Structure 1
Amino acid sequence: MSDLIQILPDNVANQIAAGEVVQRPASVVKELVENAIDAGSNSIKINLKDAGKTLIQVIDNGCGMSVTDARIAFERHATSKIRKANDLFAIRTMGFRGEALASIAAIANVELKTKRTEDELGTHLVIDGSMQVSQEVSACSDGSNFIVKNLFYNVPARRKFLKANSTELRNIISEFHRIVLANPDVAFQLIHNDSEIYNLPASNIRQRIVNVFGKSMNSRLISINTNTSIVKLSGFIGKPKNAKRNLGEQFFFVNNRFMRHPYFYRAVIQAYDKILPPETVPPYFIFFEVDPQIIDINIHPTKTEIKFEDEKAIYQIIQASIREALGKFNIVPSIDFEEDTSLEIPVAGQNKDIEAPMIKVNPEFNPFDAESNFNPFDAEKNYNPFDEARKSFESNPFFQEFKAKTPDSSTHKQKKEVPENWEQLYEEPTTKTQDQNDKQSVIDPENIPDYFQPQERVKMEQPKLQPREAIQKTKNFFQLKNKYILTPIRSGLMIIDQRKAHERILFEKFISSLENHQGIAQQTLFPQTIELNASDYTLLQVILEDVRALGFDIREFGKKTFVINGTPADIKNCEPKELLENLIANYKLNQLDVKLKIRENLAKSLAKASAVNYGKSLSYEEMSSIIDQLFACDIPNFTPDGKPVISVLESQELENRFK
């Protein structure tokens, strides 16, 4: 019987190993850009085609490679970062294993053009599937130019499982964010399908955050800075009111390397305890500076999971630093001691005579005398503030009629006699002839001013009592704690969650609008402009037609910017900008469900973003409308997420509680 165990060929072994290092195009971008940073580059350009499936090109101005180095760099475990095992405990570079280039070359067509500064000519190397095709002298710029084409061309099973271009591009942008935030002193440019997505100049960390996530981020940041013997913390955290429901702006960096650390993530969330809106996560950009000997980077192929010697102590330092920063933000006002806050007080000159101000005042003015026609500040001009009101009052036709029927006040004071025909003042108005109508204007009771209220008008405006049936009907619905709607039924008491019920109603409406493309837009009075980061901008471009089918009137307005002219008519009292942001956030959360279709995800996301919130007091009509629409739905008992909407408290259970 022949031997069964044999050594795999290098190309097969490299393809297998590539599965750990190269999972998707974003992995290639990460490894090549990190190598460019290790080479001392201060300017890096990334060019993509079809989200990296067709082309990934990374151009840097680093130190470059010699002819021999260029050839050996694609061998497994070939590296310039470490020489002995102890070097693993003092790593400050991004790459060190020597696996990246060998793995990439095993599953793609790779070209490398590189040149050192001191060399006159560079090297052009071509590799297909771990096999070197050619190596020749070439005239090229200083640095390195990596070109990776047709990723996974020789591993069709891996290529088949790549996601849509929009999804793969968002993964690349996520990796790009992690690298550019850790290296603000390096200029980056990202281009996809000949369209520039990012052009980031070298800057400080705060400016880099603003350049990546938009200008609005600048006012949302709170700086932290703590220096201890174990770790030095610096960076920024977000204000509690700006926390979002989705992850995406949460970053830990240790020695300028991005890392994931669930334990430290809990420390951040605990520091925000009781000041965050429910189900939200604050943004943070926290940089750790530690001795490389107290961390272990070499525990994961992608080098994003890092082990610390004393994690509990760092946990407490994180909490204390964030709480201190939040305390300063909430309690201590910021004072700029360099700002000149002194008051500017004019000083009179020494040789200048001081004169008293001259103001003309009429000493005869009496403010309580309505007949006075004098302005206290202008004795030369007669002015009475009551003239215009009196003229308007006396010109009223009802006053003219009333004055005609009323004796003169001076005569009345002297004679004090009852006028003739006084009974006519209290008689019902009779029908008059046309001539009489022409002589005397007819007064419409609705036009009578408020300061004259005849008895007939007062009686006419008395509120009408509701019939007994209407009063009884208004007691069918009750709202409990501005969260639940209670209504009695035959079997007991029905309890309806108002937000979940509204979510189910809106979901079915939006599904119908998407299927029929009949979404109705309610135009906004003033269009709103929203600036998105590159990842959200790419996502919105993919789902833009379906968003419009829901009833949004939205169009592109420059680079990574959209203008909102209208929102779905079914949604009331929602800010268009906030509504669209919540829609995108919920859509990204729902993408974790593979079975969820794009349109169903969109309808579900918008329903969740626009449903009535807890804490809103509902009128009887609003409660009645929600219940009527809920039971007209196909599935009234559950939300699109499968959570219960209705709960019934049986009569028997109520009776048992009182036994």
Structure 2
Amino acid sequence: MSDIIQLLPDHVANQIAAGEVVQRPASVVKELLENAIDAGATCIKLLLKDAGKTLIQVIDDGKGMSSTDARMCFERHATSKIQKAEDLFNLCTKGFRGEALASIAAIAHVELKTKQENEELGTCIKIEGSKIISQDFISTGKGTSLAVKNLFYNIPARRNFLKSDTVETRHIIDEFQRVALAHPNIAFLLHHNNNEVYHLKNNNLRQRIVAIFGTKMNEKLVPIDEQTDILTIEGFVAKPEFAKRKRGEQFFFVNNRFIKSSYLNHAVVNAFDGLLENGSHPSYFLYLTVPANTIDINIHPTKTEIKFDNEKALYAMLRATVKHSLGQYNVAPVLDFNRDSNLDTPYHFNAKSVATKAPKITVDPNFNPFKEATQKEIHFPFKRQKQNENWESLYTSVAVNTEEKQEELFDNQQEIKTQKTFQIQRKYLLSSIKSGVVLINQSLAHQRVLYEDFLESITVKEANSQQLLFPVKIAFSSTEIEMIYTIKSELENAGFSFDEFTKDSVTIKGIPVSVTESKITIILEELLNDMNLEVPDASFSHFDIMAKSFAKTLSIKTGTQLSEKEQEGLVNDLFSCKAPSISPFGKPTFKTLTLNEIDNLFNS
């Protein structure tokens, strides 16, 4: 029998490895940016075309590579930071030319230009699908430029699995933000299709956060600073009133490496206990520094998950530190959460000294308590009637009021007898039908009604818009502004009217009739979050996701008391919809219970 086990060719092995390392263009961006940081760069440029599918290029001014290193960095298992197995548990760098370059070169066209400072000429290497096409000496500046073109060109199945340009760009920006936040001392530039998205100068952490998320973020931040023997915590948390409905701006960094940790997130949320509305999530930018040998960052291929030696101690310290900072900066009351602000000393009295003289007491020498008071001496706030005057009116009014209340009582009883719907626990509506009863989820039913109304307004007829007396200016990050601008025409079809777009804000002068001014920010934030979901890039998808987002945000919520008229109106509107049985998100809006099913409940 012939042998059937064989070694895979290098180019096939590299393609298999690429499946683990390179999931999408954002994976390539992360590896190249981290390599540039470890090269000691002070300025890093990221150039993209077509969400990285056509081009991902990272240019840095770091130390560069020799011609030998430039060739070696594309070999499998080539690295500059690991000499022995023990080094895996004492990592202080992110990687230097080689951890993933072999995998990237296997599935793309790669062009590398690099030069060290003390060399006269640099090196240029071109690779296509793991095959080195050329290697030449060139004249170039200090540092490295690595261009990855036509990603997944030789694996069309993987390329077909990529999402729309909008979604892939969002993932790239997420990776870019994480790296930029971890290294505020490095300047970063991001260009997409020749348009500048970010131009971040090297500055302090607070300025870096504001530069990425907009100027309005500056007023939200509460500083965090704590040092212990086993842990150093720095960074910022956002004030409770700026909490969001979605988990968005939540960043943990351990030894300048972005991580995800539900355990540490729970510690932060616990510190906000009693300060957040139900369903809200705090924003935070927290930087933890621990000894490198007390963590294991190799438990996940992307190194975004981490294992600590003493998780419980870190949890307690993090929770206490955040809670202390919230109290220290008067964000949260330290002792009395129900303190009455009316009892506070007014500002203009703070500097005044306490009076030392006793107040003067005035006495009326003519006052005689035994003297019979006359009508003139007694001051009533109303004209008093004589004692026995019109006494019948007292009983008449009582009798009339009693009769009216009795009539109201019987009227209410008559209304209850003819009432068509009933509200249960402020969550469900119960309505009688010929075959039995129907139980309706009021929130999901209202979502369906609003969804179809919005969809019709956006796509079929022109929506009504109400002009605001004073235009509303809302601050967003530059990427969020760009997303809003891309769907500007769809929002205008929905009834929004825009006055001005700037780099970090948008001014709105008109809103849909069904939207209140106080909900503008919530609606747009929810819409941006929904736009970040992986939806197909179809012309209809923006309309659909917009209608869903509006319906979800504006629908009545569980716990809302509805009058009888509102209940009946909602039931009628629901069964006038084209698809009344399901919500916009595929959940059932109502359940029917026939008479036979009800009888069986009592006969079983």
Secondary structure of 2:79's aligned partner:
coil
One-letter code aligned to 1:187? A
**Residues of 2 paired with 1:517 and 1:250: CA distance?**
40
Q: Which is worse superposed, 235-244 or 269-278?
A: 269-278
Confirm or deny that 1:625 pairs with 2:569.
Answer: yes
Structure 2: 5+ residue runs without aligned partners? Answer: 336-348, 354-406
**Residues of 2 paired with 1:472 and 1:326: CA distance?**
55
The residue that corresponds to 2:332 in the other structure is 330
Q: In the alignment, is the contact (CA less than 8 A) between 2:170 and 2:532 conserved in 1?
A: no
The residue that corresponds to 1:406 in the other structure is none
**Residues of 1 paired with 2:46 and 2:537: CA distance?**
31
Q: 2:467 aligns with which of 523, 543, 548?
A: 523
Secondary structure of 1:35's aligned partner:
helix
The residue that corresponds to 1:585 in the other structure is 529
Q: TM-score, normalised by structure 1?
A: 0.72
**Residues of 2 paired with 1:589 and 1:122: CA distance?**
43
One-letter code aligned to 1:585? N
Q: In the alignment, is the contact (CA less than 8 A) between 1:586 and 1:608 conserved in 2?
A: no
* Bigger RCO (CA 8 Å, 6+ sep): 2
Confirm or deny that 1:505 pairs with 2:457.
Answer: no
Q: In the alignment, is the contact (CA less than 8 A) between 2:39 and 2:96 conserved in 1?
A: no
**Residues of 2 paired with 1:639 and 1:573: CA distance?**
26
Structure 1: 5+ residue runs without aligned partners? Answer: 334-340, 346-464
After the TM superposition, which residues 272-283 of structure 1 pair with which residues of structure 2 at under 5 Å, given as runs? 272-283=272-283
Secondary structure of 1:330's aligned partner:
coil
Counting aligned pairs with the same residue, the percent is 48
| CA-to-aligned-CA distance 1:338-365 (integer Å, 9 cap, x gap) | xxx99799xxxxxxxxxxxxxxxxxxxx
Distance change in 2, residues 1:517/1:556 (3 Å) = farther
Q: Which is worse superposed, 628-637 or 177-186?
A: 628-637
Distance change in 2, residues 1:72/1:162 (3 Å) = same
The residue that corresponds to 1:58 in the other structure is 58
The residue that corresponds to 2:240 in the other structure is 240
What is the CA distance between 1:636 and its match in structure 2? 3.8
The residue that corresponds to 2:356 in the other structure is none
**Residues of 1 paired with 2:191 and 2:212: CA distance?**
15
Q: Give the greater-gyration-radius structure (CA).
A: 1
What is the CA distance between 1:496 and its match in structure 2? 5.2
Q: What count of residue pairs does the alignment treat as equivalent?
A: 528
One-letter code aligned to 2:502? G
Q: In the alignment, is the contact (CA less than 8 A) between 2:270 and 2:319 conserved in 1?
A: yes
Distance change in 2, residues 1:332/1:470 (3 Å) = closer
Distance change in 2, residues 1:634/1:533 (3 Å) = same
The residue that corresponds to 1:206 in the other structure is 206
One-letter code aligned to 2:212? V
**Residues of 2 paired with 1:638 and 1:8: CA distance?**
51
The residue that corresponds to 1:442 in the other structure is none
**Residues of 2 paired with 1:324 and 1:274: CA distance?**
14
One-letter code aligned to 2:207? Q
Distance change in 2, residues 1:219/1:122 (3 Å) = same
| CA-to-aligned-CA distance 1:39-72 (integer Å, 9 cap, x gap) | 1111111111111111111111111111211111
The residue that corresponds to 2:197 in the other structure is 197
The residue that corresponds to 2:91 in the other structure is 91
The residue that corresponds to 2:216 in the other structure is 216
The residue that corresponds to 1:313 in the other structure is 313
The residue that corresponds to 1:100 in the other structure is 100
One-letter code aligned to 2:139? A
Distance change in 2, residues 1:482/1:589 (3 Å) = farther
Distance change in 2, residues 1:501/1:48 (3 Å) = same
| CA-to-aligned-CA distance 1:213-263 (integer Å, 9 cap, x gap) | 111212222222222232222211222222222222111111000112222
| CA-to-aligned-CA distance 1:442-487 (integer Å, 9 cap, x gap) | xxxxxxxxxxxxxxxxxxxxxxx99x98995598477677666677
Distance change in 2, residues 1:46/1:344 (3 Å) = farther
| CA-to-aligned-CA distance 1:91-146 (integer Å, 9 cap, x gap) | 11011693311111111111111111112221222111111111222111111111
What is the CA distance between 1:4 and its match in structure 2? 1.5
Q: TM-score, normalised by structure 2?
A: 0.78
Q: In the alignment, is the contact (CA less than 8 A) between 2:167 and 2:532 conserved in 1?
A: no
After the TM superposition, which residues 338-353 of structure 1 pair with which residues of structure 2 at under 5 Å, given as runs? none
Confirm or deny that 1:600 pairs with 2:544.
Answer: yes
What do you get for the CA RMSD once the two structures are aligned? 3.4
**Residues of 2 paired with 1:473 and 1:571: CA distance?**
33
The residue that corresponds to 1:290 in the other structure is 290
Confirm or deny that 1:34 pairs with 2:34.
Answer: yes
| CA-to-aligned-CA distance 1:564-598 (integer Å, 9 cap, x gap) | 2322223346432332222223444585999x955
What is the CA distance between 1:32 and its match in structure 2? 0.7
The residue that corresponds to 1:303 in the other structure is 303
The residue that corresponds to 1:183 in the other structure is 183
Q: In the alignment, is the contact (CA less than 8 A) between 1:246 and 1:586 conserved in 2?
A: no
**Residues of 2 paired with 1:247 and 1:593: CA distance?**
24
The residue that corresponds to 1:447 in the other structure is none
The residue that corresponds to 2:379 in the other structure is none
| CA-to-aligned-CA distance 1:144-194 (integer Å, 9 cap, x gap) | 111111111111111111111111100000000110010011010100011
